[in-house]
Amino acid sequence: MIHSPITLTHPTGILRGSVNLPASKSESNRAQIINALSGGASTLNNLSEANDTKVITRLLESTAEELNAEDAGTVMRFMTAYLAVTNQHKIITGTARMQQRPIKVLVDALRQLGAKIEYLGQEGYPPLQFNGIDRQQDYPATLQVRGDISSQYISALIMVAPLFPQGLTLELQGKIGSRPYILMTLSLMKHFGVKGTFDGTTITIPPQNYHVNQYTIESDWSGASYWYSMVALAPEATVELKGLRSESFQGDSVIATIMEHLGVRTTYVGGEVILTKSDRLEPFRFDFTDCPDLAQTIAVVAAAKGIAVELTGLESLRIKETDRIAALQQELAKIGGDLEDKGEGLFRVKPATSIGGNPVFKTYEDHRMAMALAPLALLTPVTIEEPEVVKKSYPGFWRDLEQLSFIVEKVEEGKEE
């Protein structure tokens, strides 16, 4: 584990090689909750090594009265629903930042369904105390839930929905964010025997039982996005990414389409994706409502390549591991770029004007900030603070960079500029 800042460089800028991507933590965490709800007898292959997945594994196996979700929003939300419906009497907490991330929408919904949940700190935020569930309560079979909040709330509810005697119908109110993640959850539920429908803005899950099955977790398309970024910025590149499917449950597979505008060509060969450069470079506008985790990657690449990309659908970025919009604005300024807020949900990337001079980038305890900024090392030496944050989703990221000839050097204490 790298705890001190690192400096990244690349001697040639030419990328050639293969990358064994980490498994998807999004699939892994959903599959683990579903497996636990079905009795834990299913076989899950290629589970993610991401810290989030290690945390959810530990919590599902724990007999302790207090559980620590650390900084994992997915874990906090999925475990909240799981602990509620399995009639447990436990506490769940997390890091200081996690205790600032809202969970009221999910708790309100679970309370309507009979769960006894108390806030131990600020109302609407973790930590939470679970005091069982009232199975005798005449609970509503239909709930109205905001669609413009984190899709993890919705996924948490629909995974536990078949355990209720009448099942559960969710009517999503307003704009629906991260729809592909909801579809991923429904697809994995179907693989384990639970069928539901998603018609317009209504999700219906009848009462039924999960079945034991096997599943192999796909490689992580979110992790793949950083290699797309590197290919876009390298003068020459051919990179093979292993373990990806052309027909993926993961919404972030749309990175292949987005990066066509930024000079990256995608070729599917068996279970691999081959990335090469193309001459296509053009301004474009994209709605990131369904794939917010890609926004940082695209903003950095667009700024570095001097392309004025317009981004919408960034509302959820304010409540991630950090305020990702503010963080991007701060760090892009170090290379003369910006993510300009044009009002009414529209942001425009201002092209960078001063790439060079070994900029020192902060990561804000956010794994995606570290990985989105790292590809700039193909253009100029860069220093990354708190590089260990990548453990959240891609623990081997710095090692993989070294395998494709990046030079990763620890900054000696007192030497950082």
Pair 261, 282: CB distance under 8 Å: yes
Pair 115, 135: CB distance under 8 Å: no
- In the chain, list all ranges with CATH 3.65.10.10: 6-22+219-410, 25-208
Look over the chain and give the mean of its residue pLDDT values, rounded to a whole number. 94
pLDDT tens digit sequence for 103-122 = 999 999 999 999 999 999 99
As a 3-state breakdown, the chain gives helix, strand, coil percent values, each rounded to 5, of: 35, 25, 40
Length of the chain: 417
Pair 315, 345: CB distance under 8 Å: yes
178 annotated ligand binder = yes
Distance CA 403, CA 18 (A): 9
Q: What is the pLDDT of residue 370?
A: 97
Q: What is the pTM of this model?
A: 0.86
pLDDT tens digit sequence for 169-186 = 999 999 888 889 999 999
293 is an active site residue: yes
187 annotated ligand binder = no
Q: Token pair for residue 123?
A: 């109302």
386 φ, ψ (degrees, to nearest 5): 50, 55
The one catalytic residue in 290, 293, 366, 400 is 293
Our CA dihedral for 344, 346, 351, 355, rounded to 10 degrees, sits at 90
- Which fold does the domain 6-22+219-410 belong to in CATH? UDP-n-acetylglucosamine1-carboxyvinyl-transferase; Chain (3.65.10)
pLDDT tens digit sequence for 262-295 = 999 999 998 899 999 999 999 999 999 889 899 9
155 annotated ligand binder = no
3-class DSSP state for residue 41? coil
362 annotated ligand binder = no
Residue 324: how many other CB atoms lie within 10 Å: 25
Element housing 173 (H / E)? strand 168-173
151 annotated ligand binder = yes
Q: What is the pLDDT of residue 2?
A: 57
Pair 98, 71: CB distance under 8 Å: yes
Q: What is the pLDDT of residue 376?
A: 98
Instruction: pLDDT band for 416, please (50, 70, 90 cuts).
Output: very low
Distance CA 327, CA 230 (A): 21
Q: Is the dihedral of CA 204, 194, 51, 361 positive or negative?
A: negative
Pair 139, 113: CB distance under 8 Å: yes
pLDDT tens digit sequence for 224-261 = 999 999 999 999 999 999 999 999 999 999 999 999 99
26 annotated ligand binder = yes
392 annotated ligand binder = yes
pLDDT tens digit sequence for 364-409 = 999 999 999 999 999 999 999 999 999 988 999 999 999 999 999 9
Domain 25-208 has CATH 3.65.10.10: yes
pLDDT tens digit sequence for 345-368 = 899 999 999 999 999 999 999 999
pLDDT tens digit sequence for 52-96 = 999 999 999 999 999 999 999 999 999 999 999 999 999 999 999
Q: What is the pLDDT of residue 413?
A: 62
136 annotated ligand binder = no
Percent share of the chain, pLDDT over 70: 98
Cα maximum dimension of the chain: 68
Element housing 110 (H / E)? helix 104-112
Q: What is the pLDDT of residue 417?
A: 40
In sequence order, the β-bridge partners of residue 211 are none
